[in-house]
Structure 1
Amino acid sequence: MLGLAIVFIFGPRYIDKQSNVVVAVNLPKVSADTAAFHQTLTIADMHEDILLWNRALLERHDRGHTDVPRLIEGNVSLQIFAAVTKSPKDLNYKSNPSDSDMITPLVMFQRWPVRTWFSLKERALYQAQKLHTAAAESQGKLYVVTSAAGLSDYLASRGAGAQTMSGLLAIEGLHAIEGDLANLDDLFNAGYRMMGLTHFFDNKVAGSAHGLQKGGLTDLGKQVLARMEQLGIVVDLAHLSPTAISEVLATVTKPVVVSHTGVQGTCPGVRNLTDDQLLKIAHNGGVVGLGYWDGAICDVSPKSFAKAARYVADLVGVEHIGLGSDFDGYVTTGFDTAQLQYITQALVDAGFTQSEIRLIMGGNTVRLLKAVLP
């Protein structure tokens, strides 16, 4: 019994530490001017997955990539927290069936409430509850954004050097509505304001870039899109199949995001956006969140992030670039969120101006959210 207790106490921590790694890479030397400039930025990251893990948000940890103390240290004004509810076994970028799930044993192992064990919707609701509870217990350090006015008010009150941050709830894949459009409203009422239609497999809403069929929008998916626009939920194209991306962009009337991705111009791969997709997203007024992991930028250095940013800026304009870390999403990176000044320095070294860096680090994302949120 003691051995079993030890496994359940320390096992989840071990899995978390092994899944979300920071490795040594060649980091740029941050100048005093850049360090000072970094503290004046409004930084917004469009995607990270700490809610999946049994890691108290308000405590500083020696594992993973984020927590509220490290986010504040990195001067993050807005972190978009994504909920993961299902992920196939033997995960890969090319082709995954929908009939397996490695999140179910993780949920059980981490001793989440029994209601979450076999319900994807309940997993999403539980992760939303985790963020709201942390905010209530944060003594003002964490504010949850649910509206454009709320975001504006928070940013206006925050000021430079503030020891506070805001969070917004997102969901990675609408299999969490369990095939019922009415469940979308339940997720909205729980605070979700950004939603990706798919994750690593095809679902009842749309085809995934990593699924078996890689199809377009289903009839339910078309209803979902219409309802999302009515409610003011940001549409996230991350993980969508090329066909579904085209269909969404031909349908929506508001700007969309790709919350965490790379670009094929600097890092080829099915996960990353083509030039044609980038042009269409820019025409929509959308924002692309560039990631920090090797699948997005082909290594994990800040220099490679800046290289991808330069490519997108030259192709469609700097107004369409944001941050999409994928921190704590089973990825390896070269730095954690407390070290975001390395990204700022890499952008300086790549020749971006201060006004351009302000847009990339958060200005573009904030502009889009204010235009779409209720």
Structure 2
Amino acid sequence: MKTKHKFLSVIGTVFIAVTAIVFTWLPTYIEKSRNRVLPSQNVEISTTTKKLHQSLFIADLHSDSLLWNRDLAKKSDYGHVDIPRLIEGNVGLQVFSVVTKTPKNLNLITNSDDTDNITLLTMAQLWPVKTWFNLFERAIYQAKKLHRVTNDSSHNFFLVRNQQDFKIYLQKRKNNPQITAGLLSLEGAHALEGKIENVDRLYEAGFRIIGFTHFFDNALGGSAHGINKGGITEFGKQVLKRMHELEMFADISHASPALTEDIFIHSKRPVLATHIGVQAVCESKSKRNLTDKQIKQIADSGGLIGIGFWPTVTCNRSITGIVESIRYVNDLVGVDYVGLGSDFDGNVQVPFTSSSIEQLTHALTQADFSKQQIRKIMGGNLQRIFTEYLPSN
């Protein structure tokens, strides 16, 4: 009897230990291994550049920080983004994208939609059971996480939903640069689960940008990384129409060339490419990076290109690749259509975190961009677009 009791005690101890590893250590280990900072040379930044950086309104179009279980209201020593580090880096606005599904053995060229890495992550991170097998619930849960940050961050973080919110926030920031703001974006409209009414539900939850596809084709159209890579579907047209009515933005970052072309044809608002590169600088086999024609189409729509920070879209492991991509867009269509699209915390390695983004300001000055150009690139362009095109009420 004692032996049996001892055996059960050992089994119980092992179970508790394994559970602790799975639900505490494992999610942290996964994020630490996926969201790293690339080795870089120490750069001495001049006082003049530091002063310029502090005078900028800095805005980034894409991060996936809500996918992970870190408390974004607290400073962390891993990952790329949290509220304290945004403030430390003088970032005035961070777009927080919501990822709801990624395929197993993620392939940049071709993926089907019949596997899902995020299911195990939701379980390991102890997300609510209703998120385990429901993509829409995953989107809503992550939105609620950002709302909680708004409530828990001692009044230094604001969630922007419309023009009035943005105007009030910008006025507050003039008097207090130790605050920052966020806006919600959806990465992949498969989270709609084929229901047009879910566009309105996402809008009510605070989403203002929808990326039509992620790493696989869905009910709206083809992905740059999908199997068929088709154009927009009838459901996709319905979604785009409803987004226009709600004054939401379409994001083409992972769209197939055919879907991208169709969005330009049917869109009546500025089109965004929130985190992307350019083919002329970094030729991507998946055709994800923008062609010259697509860059011009975004400019013609009055939209914005967020240049990514990671090597897959810049073909460079240093800041140089980011600057070269920005330079190319600037030279092709002008400085008004290029901004930042880091993909922080998006399973990528980047040259710096949000707290040290002044390294990019330094690199742009070294590349002979003017102060006016730098102001627009680092966030002024996005500020202008959101001021004019966010929902008016």
Q: Give matches, 1:306-325, under 5 Å.
A: 306-325=323-342
Q: What does residue 291 of structure 1 align with?
A: 308
TM-score of the superposition, structure 2-length normalised? 0.93
Question: What SS does the aligned partner of 1:39 have?
Answer: helix
Q: What does residue 348 of structure 2 align with?
A: 331
CA deviations over 1:215-250 (Å, ceiling 9, x no partner): 010100000000001001111111001111111111
Structure 2 distance, partners of 1:233, 1:347, is: 31
Q: What does residue 378 of structure 2 align with?
A: 361
**1:42: Cα distance to partner?**
0.4
CA contact (8 A) 2:232 2:259 kept: yes
Deviates more, 1:247-256 or 1:19-28: 19-28
Q: Give matches, 1:156-195, under 5 Å.
A: 156-159=171-174, 162-195=177-210
CA deviations over 1:125-147 (Å, ceiling 9, x no partner): 00000000110111211100000
The Cα RMSD (Å) is 1.0
Q: What does residue 302 of structure 1 align with?
A: 319
**1:6: Cα distance to partner?**
2.5
For residue 150 of structure 1, the aligned residue among 161, 165, 182 is 165
Pair 1:246-2:255 in alignment: no
CA contact (8 A) 1:307 1:350 kept: no
Structure 1 distance, partners of 2:157, 2:147, is: 9
For residue 26 of structure 1, the aligned residue among 37, 41, 49 is 41
**1:28: Cα distance to partner?**
4.0
**1:370: Cα distance to partner?**
2.1
Structure 2 distance, partners of 1:370, 1:142, is: 18
For residue 281 of structure 1, the aligned residue among 293, 298, 309 is 298
Structure 2 distance, partners of 1:45, 1:324, is: 5
Counterpart residue type for residue 74 of structure 1:
G
TM-score of the superposition, structure 1-length normalised? 0.98
**1:212: Cα distance to partner?**
0.2
**1:27: Cα distance to partner?**
5.3
CA contact (8 A) 1:28 1:346 kept: no
Q: Give matches, 1:114-129, under 5 Å.
A: 114-129=129-144
Question: What SS does the aligned partner of 2:184 have?
Answer: strand
Q: What does residue 5 of structure 1 align with?
A: 19
For residue 236 of structure 1, the aligned residue among 236, 251, 262 is 251
Structure 2 distance, partners of 1:101, 1:9, is: 21
Structure 1 unmatched ranges of 5 or more? none
CA deviations over 1:4-32 (Å, ceiling 9, x no partner): 13212111110110010012123543111
Structure 2 distance, partners of 1:328, 1:236, is: 19
**1:326: Cα distance to partner?**
0.1
Question: What SS does the aligned partner of 2:255 have?
Answer: coil
Q: What does residue 367 of structure 2 align with?
A: 350
Structure 2 distance, partners of 1:30, 1:267, is: 28
CA contact (8 A) 1:97 1:202 kept: yes
Structure 1 distance, partners of 2:102, 2:389, is: 28
Question: What SS does the aligned partner of 1:215 have?
Answer: coil
CA contact (8 A) 1:258 1:289 kept: yes
Counterpart residue type for residue 269 of structure 2:
K
Structure 2 distance, partners of 1:87, 1:101, is: 5
Q: What does residue 106 of structure 1 align with?
A: 121
CA contact (8 A) 1:170 1:195 kept: yes
**1:154: Cα distance to partner?**
0.5
Counterpart residue type for residue 91 of structure 2:
V
Question: What SS does the aligned partner of 1:111 have?
Answer: coil
Q: What does residue 227 of structure 2 align with?
A: 212
Pair 1:76-2:76 in alignment: no
CA contact (8 A) 2:256 2:288 kept: no
Q: Segments of 4+ in structure 1 off by > 2 A?
A: 26-29
Question: What SS does the aligned partner of 1:47 have?
Answer: strand
**1:279: Cα distance to partner?**
1.0
Question: What SS does the aligned partner of 2:264 have?
Answer: helix
- Percent of aligned positions that are identical: 46
Counterpart residue type for residue 230 of structure 1:
E
Counterpart residue type for residue 276 of structure 2:
T
CA contact (8 A) 2:273 2:305 kept: yes
Q: What does residue 155 of structure 2 align with?
A: 140
CA contact (8 A) 2:212 2:252 kept: yes
**1:115: Cα distance to partner?**
0.7
CA contact (8 A) 1:216 1:247 kept: yes
Counterpart residue type for residue 324 of structure 1:
G
**1:186: Cα distance to partner?**
0.6
Question: What SS does the aligned partner of 2:221 have?
Answer: coil
CA contact (8 A) 2:54 2:90 kept: yes
